[in-house]
Structure 1
Amino acid sequence: MKSLTILRHAKSGWDAPVERDFDRPINPRGRRGAELIGQYLKKQALPVDRIVASPAVRVTETLDIFQPAADLDALEPHWDRRIYLASAATLIEVLRDTGRDAEHLLIAGHNPGLEDLALMLVPESANDPLRAEIEAKLPTSALVRMEIDIDDWHRLDIGMARIVAFVRPRDLDPALAPSMD
């Protein structure tokens, strides 16, 4: 049995003066969300033994905050440019390639790919309320934890996973809920 944790990057600063989307940083609200989600992972004692991540600035900054909060700062992420704005199919290939011997793999990246990945891995017929919440929206800094009954990441395929946790920053701090203005 393997576990996959999906982490969407923290809220980014759209007002930051950058030339490329790749270079957009996270904002103060995003920093708080990344820290809370990291603390949640640590408190729930959800193990992670390998991290694969997009090298985009908003992902690297998210992990700079998330990893110490989750007590994962000893893990060096494997930076994979393919994750940046990737489709779910590409993300499955990345997981197959980089999982190697990891039991508990974490992927950090972007939407819509990560949301599509979660929905692709969990069967629609599962009638799972967490799947329905993810289908509604996988917000920034959200974390999805799945269990997958495989012994090798090369065997990862659609419809194989079961969601065991889905948490958003607003679930941990209502002040981080989207504003209604």
Structure 2
Amino acid sequence: MKILYLMRHAKSSWNFDGLSDKERPLNNRGRTDAPQMGQALAERNIQLDLLVSSPAVRALSTAALVAKELNYPPERIQVLDGIYEADLDRLVGIVQELPDDVNSVLLVGHNPTITDTVNYLSPSAVHEMTTAAVVCLHFQTEHWADAHRHNAELYFVDTPKNHED
């Protein structure tokens, strides 16, 4: 079985004129939501074999904050340029090209492609992924190349709103 966690980066800031889209940092809410979602994953006893992130600052920051909560070494976060500005076909390709020796992967990326990918791979529809939302899909296969809707189960959808006091 292959387990895929797809996460939309946490809330970013638009308050820095002159920064490129790729350089936008997390805002205060994003810096709160990302570790909160990491804690929620840790409470589920998630053990990652691989954490993959877009190179955008907001995505990589989200990945690092989640990694810390999961005791995943930050130096093992794999940054894939192709995730940034990927369309549906490219992101599905990235998933299906994952190495078969890893079984549990968290991929941190961007909307609308994260939502599109969830809905392409999942047998159940998921409305738009909010910032810092995580979806878990289980695939009944030994090969990432065979990860498709027909062998997938939507295991859970989690958002920061589920963890508000």
- The TM-score normalised by the length of structure 1 is 0.85
Distance in 1, matches of 2:105 and 2:129, equals: 19
1:152 is matched with 143
Q: Is the 8 A contact 1:85 1:111 kept in 2?
A: no
Distance in 1, matches of 2:102 and 2:10, equals: 24
Q: Where do 1:83-122 residues align within 5 Å?
A: 83-122=83-122
Query: SS of 2:135's equivalent?
Result: strand
Q: Is the 8 A contact 2:2 2:142 kept in 1?
A: yes
Residue 150 of structure 1: how far off its partner (Å): 1.1
Residue 15 of structure 1: how far off its partner (Å): 1.3
1:22 is matched with 22
Q: Is the 8 A contact 2:132 2:160 kept in 1?
A: yes
- Unpaired runs of 5+ residues, structure 2, are none
2:13 is matched with 13
Distance in 2, matches of 1:9 and 1:94, equals: 17
Distance in 2, matches of 1:26 and 1:150, equals: 36
Q: Is the 8 A contact 2:46 2:70 kept in 1?
A: no
1:37 is matched with 37
Distance in 2, matches of 1:105 and 1:40, equals: 16
With over 3 angstroms needed to count, the CA separation of the structure-2 counterparts of 1:18 and 1:72, relative to structure 1, is: farther
2:86 maps to amino acid: A
- The TM-score normalised by the length of structure 2 is 0.92
Give the % identical residues: 28
Distance in 1, matches of 2:52 and 2:35, equals: 19
With over 3 angstroms needed to count, the CA separation of the structure-2 counterparts of 1:45 and 1:107, relative to structure 1, is: same
Q: Is the 8 A contact 2:139 2:148 kept in 1?
A: no
Query: SS of 2:76's equivalent?
Result: coil
Distance in 2, matches of 1:86 and 1:18, equals: 23
Distance in 1, matches of 2:122 and 2:54, equals: 23
Query: SS of 2:137's equivalent?
Result: strand
- Unpaired runs of 5+ residues, structure 1, are 175-181
Query: SS of 1:47's equivalent?
Result: coil
2:164 pairs with 1:173? yes
Distance in 2, matches of 1:53 and 1:100, equals: 18
With over 3 angstroms needed to count, the CA separation of the structure-2 counterparts of 1:90 and 1:159, relative to structure 1, is: farther
Q: Is the 8 A contact 1:50 1:99 kept in 2?
A: no
Distance in 2, matches of 1:12 and 1:92, equals: 24
With over 3 angstroms needed to count, the CA separation of the structure-2 counterparts of 1:74 and 1:29, relative to structure 1, is: closer
Q: Is the 8 A contact 1:51 1:75 kept in 2?
A: no
2:133 is matched with 142
Query: Which sits farther off after the overlay, 81-90 or 30-39?
Result: 81-90
Q: Is the 8 A contact 2:51 2:63 kept in 1?
A: no
